[in-house]
Homo-oligomer: A and B are copies of this chain.
Amino acid sequence: MIIDCHGHYTTSPAAHNQWRDQQKANFKTGGDIDPAYPDISDDQIRETIEQNQLRLLRERGADMTIFSPRASAMEPHVGDLAVSETWARICNDLCARVAQLFPDRFLPGAMLPQSPGALPATTIPELTRAVEELGVVTVNLNPDPSGGSFSAPPLTDRSWYPFFEKMVELDVPAMIHVSGSCNCAMHATGAYYLAADTIAFMQFIEGDLFRDFPTLRFIIPHGGGAVPYHWGRYRGLADMLKRPPLAEHVMKNVYFDTCVYHQPGIDLMFEVIDVDNILFGSEMVGAVRGIDPQTGHYFDDTKRYIDALDIPAEDKRKVFELNARRVYPRLDAQLKARGL
């Protein structure tokens, strides 16, 4: 079984996106931030999926995707906490519907109702609802709700602890994922995403979060940002800062996905990162949707790069399936309940 750990509903129905535009407009004018949600039929949802993510899953030979709301549209910097709470609920419900319509293909992930300056604990009710009522197997946690100024405390800050306690209690991991950039100097998918990934990893080196939460698990997407490329720098910094070796201090709790859109990058990742810490992911249909003229294949068809690796079949199975079952126990439980 091949499980893509990183998919967003980037092709959500126009009516859903229009609702968001209405919400934003209402917020500005002091209107209703929870206006009536449009009647979006199952067929309308099916259509947005079948022509896009489902078609590509079939064409590329993958089986399932962990499917969460569009990252760039989470926009925690827009409006206030109440706006985010409403928007998160609506987006999470929509992704859960996709998973209900295609139970063999999509498992739901959730976004969190974050807002700049709001305590992480404010997101616990939606986390709990998403896990217990919608069946989500993971959440996306935004380390910079400001949308590009990196003004939030580090992920190792005590203000996160109540949220992490709930994550541990529910046994769900989080993908660390910023949203759209409202900083004109920082392109979202070309700069902000990778910067945030890299910054988060260094926060884990500096802190002692996993001493306090030994079973807390994070996925750092986009191949871990700059981290594998600079693996020597991080090993050396851990040493200089008198931190324990990365293998015990960070890498029992942190996983990288394979959203690296060329073979040499994937080769490097597998050379320096333990295979137990790598999860197959593509983020299709996402940041880079074109075909690589050098290969004739989609840049984000990351399964091809893994297929091409000269590593044992058992290692590929870890990356495609077994690691995901271990990192996302609720995914494993749902699959087992279906006899998979």
Residues on B with C-beta less than 8 A from A205 are 187, 190
Question: Which residue in B190, B230, B237 is a CB contact (below 8 Å) of A223?
Answer: B230
Asked whether, in the complex, the Cβ of B183 is within 8 Å of the Cβ of A288, the reply is no
B237 adjacent to A230 (CB under 8 Å): no
Q: Is the beta-carbon distance between A236 and B198 smaller than 8 angstroms?
A: no
A contact residues, range: 35 or more
Residue of B185, B191, B234 touching A198 (CB-CB under 8 A): B191
Q: Is B185 touching A199 in the complex (CB atoms < 8 A)?
A: yes
Do the beta carbons of A264 and B268 come within 8 Å of each other?
A: yes
State whether B150 touches A234 (Cβ < 8 A): no
Verify B185–A152 contact, CB threshold 8 A: yes
Q: How far is the CA of A290 from the CA of B232 in the complex (A)?
A: 11
Q: Contact: A198 with B195, CB < 8 Å? A: yes
A266 smallest CB distance to B (angstroms): 9
The one of B185, B225, B265 that contacts A232, using a Cβ cutoff of 8 Å: B265
Q: Looking at A185, A237, A268, A289, which has the most chain B CB atoms within 10 Å of its CB?
A: A185
A287 to chain B, nearest CB (A): 7
Chain A 151-192 interface residues, beta-carbon cutoff 8 Å to B:
151-154, 183-187, 189-192
> Which residues from chain B contact A288 at a C-beta distance below 8 Å?
232-233, 236-237, 240
- Among A118-170, those with CB < 8 Å from B are 143, 148-154
- Given A191-B202, A195-B199, A226-B229, decide whether A236 and B272 contact each other with a Cβ distance below 8 A: no
Bound together, the chains give a CA A149 to CA B148 distance in angstroms of 8
Contacts of A149 in B (CB 8 A): 149-151
Which one, B226, B237, B290, contacts A225 given CB within 8 A?
B226
Closest to A266 in B: B232
Contacts of A222 in B (CB 8 A): 230, 233
A292 contacts B by Cβ under 8 Å: yes
A303 at the interface (CB under 8 A from B): no
Q: When each residue 185-221 of chain A gets 1 if its CB lies under 8 Å from chain B and 0 otherwise, what string results?
A: 1110111101100110111011000000000000000
Q: For the complex, give the distance between the alpha carbons of A263 and B228 in Å.
A: 12
Q: Do the beta carbons of B153 and A185 come within 8 Å of each other?
A: yes
User: In the assembly, what is the distance between CA of A198 and CA of B224, in Å?
Assistant: 14
A300 CA to B239 CA, complexed, in Å = 13
Give the interface centre of A150, A186, A201 by most chain B CB atoms within 10 Å.
A150
A226/B198 in contact, CB under 8 A: yes
Shortest Cβ distance from residue A315 to the other chain B in the assembled complex, whole angstroms: 17
What would be 10 A-B contacts, judged by CB atoms less than 8 Å apart?
A: A150-B183, A194-B198, A194-B230, A198-B198, A198-B226, A229-B268, A230-B262, A231-B265, A236-B300, A268-B268
**Which A residues form the contact surface with B (CB < 8 A)?**
143, 148-154, 183-187, 189-192, 194-195, 198-199, 201-203, 205-206, 222-223, 225-226, 228-237, 239-240, 260-265, 267-268, 271-272, 287-290, 292, 294, 299-300
**Top 10 nearest A-B pairs by Cβ distance?**
A232-B262, A226-B226, A232-B261, A236-B288, A229-B229, A195-B195, A190-B202, A236-B299, A191-B202, A154-B185
A-B contacts besides A187-B199, A191-B202, A233-B262, 12 pairs, CB < 8 Å: A154-B184, A187-B205, A190-B205, A190-B233, A198-B198, A223-B229, A232-B262, A235-B262, A235-B294, A237-B288, A262-B272, A264-B268
